[in-house]
Structure 1
Amino acid sequence: MTPEEQPELEDVEEISETEEVEEAIEEEVEAEEEVTEVPTEAPPEEEEEIVDERIYTVPLRKAYWTGSRLRRAKRAVRILREFVEKHMKPEEIHIQPEVNEKIWSRGIQKPPRRIRIRATKNSENLVRVYLAEG
């Protein structure tokens, strides 16, 4: 081989490597586009007839008193459920994820001492618990 031919071979190798890299990048971009094309829509909630709506400040300090501190957040959710059961007398209770996340926001050992909620009761005696605004 002459020295002139050798750089040409290197150029060919570099070109083929860059083409492979570009193809791989294009495939990744196409894969990302496919993923982003799928909309994540929540199913529309059915309009329910709300019979009763109340706002409560639920004291969760009992969660700090009893037992292990490694169960406080779980206990706080149970206390919230019992409070709503006592005051609204439902057949079924649905605690919204935002309320659960608020209780667990500081970890299992330190739930909030109190939480403000909005409880709605529909005609089927189902109570939904939301975070109160404000």
Structure 2
Amino acid sequence: MAEDERVYTIPLRDAKKAPRWKRANRAIKEIYLFLSRHTKTPLEHIRLDPSINHRVWERGIQKPPSRIRVRAVKFEDGTLEAELAE
């Protein structure tokens, strides 16, 4: 049973600070860090849906989106599942 469900708009502008060939990787790390910070969940308990990965990598490694909307569901056992918010 879901304990808490929220929709977040995650800014990925810090990914632009990385070299061009590492930006999509950095964007995925920024999503993990944002969700960990805002939901008080350890990084190892966060699971991202493949749709988030597809959206970040849609235009290649050099041009990730500047922001992404994510629906995060935190369960009672402390795990967090995030999927793309449509």
* Residue aligning to 1:121: 74
Runs ≥4 in structure 1, deviation > 6 angstroms?
Answer: none
Which of structures 1 and 2 has the larger relative contact order (alpha carbons within 8 angstroms, sep 6+)? 2
Q: Deviations over 1:61-110 (max 9, x none)?
A: 11002x31100000000000000000011240000000111001010000
Q: TM-score, normalised by structure 2?
A: 0.94
Counterparts of 1:13-24 in structure 2, within 5 Å, are none
Structure 1 residue ranges without an equivalent (≥5): 1-48
Structure 2 residue ranges without an equivalent (≥5): none
Percent identity over the alignment is 44
Q: Kindly indicate which of the two structures has a greater share of residues assigned to helix.
A: 1
User: What CA distance in whole angstroms lies between the structure 1 residues aligned with 2:16 and 2:41?
Assistant: 27
Residue-pair matches, total = 84
User: What CA distance in whole angstroms lies between the structure 2 residues aligned with 1:102 and 1:80?
Assistant: 12
User: What CA distance in whole angstroms lies between the structure 1 residues aligned with 2:15 and 2:6?
Assistant: 23
| SS of the residue 1:107 aligns to | coil
User: What CA distance in whole angstroms lies between the structure 2 residues aligned with 1:128 and 1:104?
Assistant: 19
* Residue aligning to 1:64: 16
Max Rg structure = 1
| SS of the residue 2:41 aligns to | coil
* RMSD between superposed Cα atoms in Å: 0.8
Give the residue type in structure 2 aligned to 1:78.
K
User: What CA distance in whole angstroms lies between the structure 2 residues aligned with 1:78 and 1:87?
Assistant: 14
* Residue aligning to 1:86: 37
User: What CA distance in whole angstroms lies between the structure 2 residues aligned with 1:61 and 1:90?
Assistant: 22
Counterparts of 1:1-134 in structure 2, within 5 Å, are 49-65=1-17, 67-91=18-42, 92-133=45-86
